């Protein structure tokens, strides 16, 4: 085996992955395609134009050299507040190839958040798109740490134009620190998960190829952005791993924009989140769109309600694969399959991963019982940066405590019951907020729902629902009674929502996860 290479044996299930002792993942995702004759193929498409694999490889080298010329040392962190564009890919892999550690962060955050991340990472460099200048520059002004190199993407491009187009990969190993991702903060403050060089290969091969059956003929479009672990795989690592094409869009992914991109760029795979699928279904009801290029769709970020799954497959005529992943595991580790879809379930364990469901005592629960989901796989983050207590509590002997409550049914499908801190205890019985939400969404007048615990006048915990309607004018006590009856008809009697509040939007992370903790005081 030559240095910087990786070999895959797909005759086994899961595929066997063998790494060279010296392995820089940028060589596997970027340089390999030139050696394999794909230089002229289109790697990235945007409304501004196409980028070939040869052009991308050159941009990666120039970006790495430009960063190194800025005085950075191996291992320095590079905070990226960068929109979805070819420059994101060049900067990310250029940093890795130069021996630096890219840290893509949420582009929708505020100055205080960026200030925290700058200080937490002690970043050596900060690169940002001009659109985010106000918040980034305010963060720099108030932060106690200022990176040695601060530049806009436009300024980086100027440096790249002067930099060498040749760059040898910095020595690394499969388990060396490679990049960080901050958690989305659905249950509190963000933590930096430290990922290794092998992690993107593991997810791309086991899920991208093993589950989605990606090939170089595929064109991937993701509504989820690149700063999100889900989007990073969908729109960058998966297509680049197989020599396919990524469609990048730097704007807000509204239903109409998404439909326009699908019709214009003809992707074969579309990746979204449940809230977007619900909104797109509503838009499809108003105007038909051409989705015939899609061979499959994927949903993650939140569990996909069974009714939305069924309706999307009927309307779009393409299967939608629900799955669960996490920032710490990098991508999806339990998923439905192209030929095995169970609406309302997350599916089965992705080959290459192992799962177990444990109770409060840490022991495996009985078959069919719910408990906390733990996952083991070679894409799991090595640790949380500068947080040994949280690392010790969450990452144990190669296992990752996901914080999600699941059960495994008799057929082997994993069924989501909610975040462990979103479970409700009603009358001494544990109850899943997601189960009630899924039932509410089955009502034709309901678009989205979130359920949290609330104490009644006697101090007893009961479910409270926050609901977005397809038609806001339908709100009223008559509908509330109809929705309670709808829940009672299919759920255990104690699970119906005692309070129903109609809202125009639900608090969510930028990745589409409902922040139920923000509703508990409502």
Looking at residue 455, which CATH number applies to its domain? 3.30.300.30
- Can you tell me which residue has the tokens 């958040």? 113
State the Cα–Cα distance between residues 461 and 81, nearest whole angstrom: 41
Mean pLDDT on 507-516: 76
SS (H, E, C) 68-85: HHCCCCCCCEEEEECCCC
User: Model-level pTM greater than 0.95?
Assistant: no
Q: What is the DSSP track for 463-511?
A: EEEEEEESSGGG-SHHHHHHHHHHHHTTS-GGGS-SEEEE-S---B-TT
- Quote the CA–CA distance of 292 and 515 in Å, as a whole number: 34
Per-residue pLDDT of 72-118, as tens digits, reads 999 999 999 999 999 999 999 999 999 999 999 989 888 988 999 99
Q: Do 160 and 206 fall within a single domain?
A: no
> Does 77 lie in the same domain as 31?
yes
Same domain? For 405 and 458 the reply is: no
- Given a cut of 70, whether residue 185 has pLDDT beyond it is no
Using the 8-state DSSP alphabet, how is residue 241 labeled? H
Q: Model confidence over 322-367: pLDDT tens digits?
A: 999 999 999 999 999 999 999 999 999 999 999 999 998 889 999 8
Among left, alpha and beta (phi > 0; psi -120 to 50; other), residue 491 is beta
Q: Which helix (H) or strand (E) holds 425?
A: strand 424-426
Question: Does the pLDDT of residue 1 top 50, yes or no?
Answer: no
The residue range of the domain holding 445 is 423-518
**207 and 161 fall within a common domain:** no
Q: What is the pLDDT of residues 42-72, one digit of tens each?
A: 999 999 999 999 999 999 999 999 999 999 9
Q: What is the radius of gyration, based on Cα positions, of the chain?
A: 23
Within a domain: 208? yes
Place of tokens 């929705």: 483
Residue 443 placed within a domain: yes
Sorted by sequence, the CB contacts under 8 Å of residue 358 that are 6+ apart come out as: 364, 365, 371, 372, 374
Q: Where are the alpha helices (DSSP H) in 70-168?
A: 86-97, 111-121, 133-142, 153-162
Confidence of residue 427 (pLDDT cuts 50, 70, 90): low
Confidence of residue 522 (pLDDT cuts 50, 70, 90): low
Check whether residue 249 and residue 118 sit in a common domain: no
How sure is the predictor about 494, in pLDDT bands with cuts at 50, 70 and 90?
A: confident
The segment with the largest mean pLDDT, out of 227-236, 416-425, 445-454, is 227-236
352 and 396 inside one domain: yes
In a domain, 17, yes or no: no
Q: Which residue has the tokens 């200030």?
A: 115
Q: How many structural domains comprise the chain?
A: 3
The answer to whether residue 143 sits within a structural domain is yes
Residue 491 and residue 439 in contact, taking contact as beta carbons nearer than 8 Å: yes
Please enumerate in sequence order all residues whose Cβ is within 8 A of that of 85, keeping only pairs 6 or more positions apart, or say none.
46, 129, 153, 248, 250
Please check whether residues 445 and 331 belong to one and the same domain: no
Query: 458 pLDDT exceeds 70?
Result: no
Q: What is the rounded distance in angstroms from the CA atom of residue 283 to the CA atom of residue 264?
A: 18
- Same domain for 409 and 438? no
**What's the CATH number where 164 sits?**
3.40.50.12780
For residues 116 and 69, the answer to whether their CB atoms sit within 8 Å is: no
Which residues have a Cβ under 8 Å from the Cβ of 185 and sit 6 or more positions away?
509, 515
Residue 266 in any domain: the answer is yes
381 within domain boundaries: no
pLDDT at 2: 46
Residue 29 lies in a domain: yes
8 A C-beta contact, residue 170 and residue 74: yes
Residue 104 lies in a domain: yes
Residues 257 and 395 in one domain: yes
Does residue 415 sit in the same domain as residue 277? yes
Give the model's pLDDT for residue 282: 87
Of 241, 246, 244, 247, the C-alpha closest to 32 is 241
Say how far residue 401 (Cα) sits from the centre of its chain: 17
- Give me the chain's average pLDDT, please: 93
Banded model confidence at residue 286, pLDDT cuts 50, 70, 90: confident
User: Do 368 and 446 belong together in one domain?
Assistant: no
Mean pLDDT across the stretch 500-510? 88
Residue 186 has pLDDT above 80, yes or no: no
Q: Is the pLDDT of residue 189 over 90?
A: no
In a shared domain, residues 260 and 359: yes
């Amino acid at each position: 085996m030559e240095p910087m290479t990786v070999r895959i044996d797909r005759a086994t299930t899961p595929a066997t992955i063998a790494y060279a002792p010296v392995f820089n993942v940028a060589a596997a995702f970027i340089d390999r395609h030139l050696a394999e004759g794909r230089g002229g193929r289109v790697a990235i498409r945007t409304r501004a134009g196409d980028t070939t694999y040869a052009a991308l490889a050159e941009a990666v080298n120039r970006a790495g050299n430009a960063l190194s010329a800025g005085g950075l040392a191996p291992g320095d962190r590079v905070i990226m507040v960068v929109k979805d564009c070819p420059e994101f890919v060049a900067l990310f892999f250029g940093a890795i190839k130069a021996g630096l550690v890219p840290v893509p962060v949420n582009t929708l955050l505020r100055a205080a958040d960026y200030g925290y991340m700058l200080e937490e990472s002690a970043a050596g460099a900060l690169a940002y798109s001009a659109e985010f200048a106000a918040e980034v520059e305010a963060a720099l002004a108030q932060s106690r740490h200022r990176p040695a190199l601060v530049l806009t993407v436009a300024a980086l491009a100027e440096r790249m134009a002067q930099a060498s187009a040749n760059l040898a990969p910095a020595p690394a190993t499969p388990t060396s620190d490679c990049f960080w991702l901050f958690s989305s903060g659905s249950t509190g403050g963000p933590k930096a998960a430290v990922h290794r060089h092998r992690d993107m290969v593991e997810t791309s091969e086991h899920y991208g190829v093993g589950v989605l059956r990606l090939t170089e003929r595929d064109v991937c479009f993701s509504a989820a952005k690149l700063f999100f672990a889900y989007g990073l795989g969908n729109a960058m690592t998966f297509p680049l791993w197989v020599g396919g094409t990524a469609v990048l869009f730097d704007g807000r992914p509204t239903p109409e924009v998404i439909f326009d991109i699908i019709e214009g760029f003809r992707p074969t795979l579309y990746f979204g989140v449940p809230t977007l699928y619900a909104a797109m279904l509503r838009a499809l009801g108003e105007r038909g769109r051409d989705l015939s290029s899609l061979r499959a769709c994927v949903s993650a970020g939140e569990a996909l309600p069974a009714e939305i799954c069924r309706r999307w497959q009927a309307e779009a005529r393409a299967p939608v694969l629900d799955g669960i992943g996490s920032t710490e595991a990098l991508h999806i580790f339990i998923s439905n399959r192209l030929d095995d879809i169970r609406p309302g379930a997350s599916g089965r364990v992705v080959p290459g991963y192992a799962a177990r469901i444990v109770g409060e005592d840490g022991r495996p629960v009985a078959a069919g019982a719910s408990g906390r989901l733990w996952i083991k796989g070679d894409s799991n983050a090595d640790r949380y940066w500068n947080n040994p207590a949280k690392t010790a509590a969450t990452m144990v002997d190669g296992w990752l405590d996901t914080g999600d409550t699941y059960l495994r049914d008799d057929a082997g499908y994993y069924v989501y019951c909610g975040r462990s801190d979103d479970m409700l205890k009603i009358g001494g019985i544990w109850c899943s907020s997601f189960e009630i939400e899924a039932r509410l969404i089955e009502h034709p007048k309901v678009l989205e729902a979130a359920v949290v615990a609330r104490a009644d006048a006697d101090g007893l915990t009961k479910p409270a629902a926050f609901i977005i309607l397809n038609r806001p004018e339908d709100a009223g006590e008559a509908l509330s009674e109809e929705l309670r009856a709808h829940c009672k008809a299919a759920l255990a009697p104690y699970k119906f929502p005692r309070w129903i509040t109609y809202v125009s939007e639900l608090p969510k992370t930028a990745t589409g996860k409902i922040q139920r903790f923000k509703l508990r005081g409502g």
